[in-house]
Structure 1
Amino acid sequence: MADASIIPADEPRRLAAVRRYDILDTPPDGAFDRITALAARRFGVPISIISIVDEDRIWFKSHHGVPVEQIGRDPGLCASAILSNDPHILTDASIDPRSLANPLVAGDFGLRFYAGVPLTTDDGHNLGTLCIIDKEARPIDQSQIDDLKDLAAIVMDQIEVQLSARQAVSQAELMAKEIDHRVMNSLQFVSGLLSMQSRALDDPDAVDHLQLAANRVAAVAQVHRHFYAEAADHASCIAFLRRLCADLESILGRKIQVSGDEGNIPTTSVQPVGLLVNELVTNAAKHGQGVIEVRYEIEGNQHALIVSDEGRDLPKDFDPAAASRSLGMRVVTSLTRQLGGELTSGHRPDGGTCFKVSFQAQP
């Protein structure tokens, strides 16, 4: 636990600010590494560090000239430097009363010179420092201190820019989900209207066409719903298909069996795969019989979606790419192109029809 004598009075709020910027334990960043390298050259010192003072450690966002990534908070001079908004300067730490007992000064490391400027947020909290270090005592003049303060301000500007960028992305994702939620609700509303209209008609063919349209719209709504349940960059496609097909079963009134390989694909591929399943399953429910089978196969980066049904056979010369008069096949062909894949069709050994979409998943 840090020494109580070097804990700022507003420590809980300061630590909350550290958490707000979400910078601790983030990967190396060239923007910060260039600043520490520049500081070391500008001041002719072997070591320059951008530090963030955590509850019980000092973590280095950038560390030029030293291989370590963090130290304990107690021996760290940066913990003292954040107590004030003024630069913390030790021109000869071996004789300065503030640092005589510090392990970095008295121990094997042999620190003699330290100059640190706090990284201060807009609301007045010191996250850490930009500091320069030498193992030899040396003077520093006001113009050099001013340069160090300017570099620290650039560091803080970069931290603020990265926070703003993360907030903008988060806001954009939130807005996208809200828009899609409204789209899904609208699709469900349209599906309901079509179903209501079909029940008001006497012509069986018109009823069938309207109900088919209602089912297709409702199924697309479910694809959107399950797609936006995926929050990560990659998602399990087989888990997504199981959830989707469970909904399609209730919409289409047909048994759908899902099987295949476990494995993640980019979420950018999940939606077209879901829409493909929607079209192929809807087509199988309309024209086929028995259980509809949906299978997802993975071999390396080669992926395949296979949808088959029982009880119907395609013409021997059937070409999916040439079946352009069917809206469903036009949609399937377009989605296959979106994935950069290939669409083929055939016959199951036990009778029935099989459609297969093969594509390479992006890493």
Structure 2
Amino acid sequence: MSGTSSSSREAARIAAVRRYDILDSPPDGAFDRITALAARRFAVPIAIISIVDADRIWFKSHHGLPVHQIDREPGLCASAILGDTPYLIEDARKDPRSLANPLVAGDFGLRFYAAVPLTTDDGHNLGTLCVIDKEPRPIEPDQIEDLKDLASIVMDQLELGLSARHAVGKANLMAKEIDHRVMNSLQFVSGLLSMQSRSLGEGRAAVHLELAAQRVAAVAQVHRHFYAGAAVEVSCVDYLRRLCGDLASILDREVVVEGDEEMVPAASIQSIGLITNELVTNAAKHGAGRIEVGFRVSGNTNRLIVCDEGCGLPSGFDPLSANTGLGMRVITTLVKQIKGTVEAGPRAGGIGACFTVQFPRAA
């Protein structure tokens, strides 16, 4: 019965270690300053902030010891976390708890060890703050209190990191929920516009309302695909394929996507999606035939290319002209957001028009 209880307690402790997400994290100056201070306070060469994993003891900070981790079995920290009080060994050669320990009997020659458990608010010991020497030494009560205070500061840092991750997680969840509601609202508006266009029959106003409905529905798809795979970086071609698959259904046109594999920052992908939405929607409205979407990488530049098989552009067409339509003005605004430029010209090798957006690759 006690074995089962011990096993369940250890499982809960390991779960707590995972919750703090500290294992194998990069060096942190705040923790390094704590171990340096502990070593000075005790006048010892070594101070460690350890986290006891299932099969290893990993060092978040290791002052005076060029080692990042050791196996759990010979580690004194694995014993120190079994209790709630400081674990003190003034002379390891005389202490029955450490006589057979390889760190004591072997070449390392550990003689002095003092550790305070790093205890969470719900009572789990993640690891220890410990100081080590290769010479035996006494330890004073005020030194123990100092070590306990330093261990509390370590836990304060760990709790701060945990709270920050929770806050970021909640903010991301709220952002997704808001965007989901925006997407639903856009789809609702699109549906209303479509209903209104049908009620007007076949006149010019009905055509414009239906085009507006298609544009709003397409913007909703940009939002949906952005949050379906939001990450630090996104495969641009994969994103464009998903987006254009939906646009093809909405616009009832064939849209083909091909290009180079390139990861772009998630912060840029929504602008790229909105630009693609506008260019494809314009191609469906003013062009004819198949719509081709390409994404090319050359040196330090990305190129987004959208072509149609229509009758081409009017003579002297300038995408930056103030006389262009709403869609073109939206495109030029979005292109500026990604520090890019937009050009328009005839489609190479055939009839039709091509729009090319160039913007810098992420550093």
> By the TM > 0.5 criterion, same fold?
yes
Counterpart in the other structure of 2:261: 262
Percent identity of equivalent pairs: 68
**1:245-265 alpha-carbon deviations (Å, 9 max, x no partner):** 000001001111111001211
Deviation string 1:132-181 (CA, Å, 9 cap, x unpaired) is 11111112211111111111000000001101111111111111111111
- SS of 1:207's equivalent in the other structure is helix
Amino acid at match of 1:351: I
Q: Is the 8 A contact 1:348 1:354 kept in 2?
A: yes
Matched with 1:83 is: 82
Q: Which residue of 1 aligns with 2:305?
A: 306
Listed as ranges, the gaps of 5+ residues in structure 2 are: none
Task: State the shift of 1:33 in Å.
Answer: 1.6
Residue 289 (structure 1) shift: 0.8
Tell me what 2:221 maps to.
222
CA apart distance, 1:70: 1.2
**Aligned pairs, number:** 358
SS of alignment partner, residue 292 of structure 2: strand
Contact 1:266–1:361, Cα closer than 8 Å, also in 2: no
Alignment of 1:182-221 (within 5 A): 182-221=181-220
- Residue 346 of structure 2 is matched in structure 1 by 347
Q: List per-residue Cα deviations over 1:17-65 (Å, max 9, x = no partner).
A: 1121121122222221221122222222111111111112111111111
2:29 is aligned to: 30
Corresponding residue for residue 19 of structure 2? 20
Q: Are the structure 2 counterparts of residues 8 and 140 from structure 1 closer, same or farther at C-alpha, using a change threshold of 3 Å?
A: farther
* TM-score normalized by the length of structure 2: 0.95
Distance in structure 2 (CA, Å) of the matches to 1:153 and 1:266: 38
Q: Secondary structure at the match of 1:278?
A: helix
Q: Distance in 1 between matches of 2:263 and 2:14?
A: 36
- Distance, in Å, in 2 between the alignment partners of 1:307 and 1:247 is 16
- Match in the other structure for 2:326: 327
Corresponding residue of 1:360 = 360
Whether the 8 Å CA contact 1:36–1:50 is kept in 2: the answer is yes
Structure 1 residue aligned with 2:168: 169
In the other structure, the counterpart of 1:152 is: 151
CA displacement at 1:231 relative to structure 2: 3.1
1:124 aligned onto 2:123: yes
Query: Aligned-pair RMSD on alpha carbons?
Result: 1.4
Deviations along 1:173-229, one digit per CA (max 9) or x if unpaired, are: 111111111111111011001001111003520111000000000000000000001
Separation of aligned partners in 2, 1:287 and 1:190: 23
The aligned residue for residue 278 of structure 1 is: 277
Query: TM-score scaled to structure 1, two decimals?
Result: 0.95
Helix, strand or coil for the counterpart of 1:188? helix
SS at match of 2:224: helix
- What secondary structure does 1:333 align onto? helix
Classify the secondary structure of the residue corresponding to 2:195.
Answer: helix
Q: 1:315-337: CA deviations, max 9, x gaps?
A: 34222111444110111001000
How many angstroms does 1:361 deviate by?
Answer: 2.6
SS of match in other structure, 2:320: helix
Alpha-carbon distance between aligned partners in 2 of 1:124 and 1:256, rounded to the nearest angstrom: 58
The one-letter amino acid of 2:150's match is L
Partner of residue 67, structure 1: 66
Question: 1:286 aligns to what SS in structure 2?
Answer: helix
Q: 1:9 to 1:318 in 2, by over 3 A?
A: closer
- SS across alignment from 2:358: strand
4+ long deviations beyond 6 Å = none
Contact 1:8/1:83 (8 A) holds in 2: no
Q: Distance in 1 between matches of 2:97 and 2:285?
A: 83
Deviations 1:108-136 (A, max 9, x none): 00001111000000011111000011111
Partner-residue secondary structure (3-state), 1:305: strand
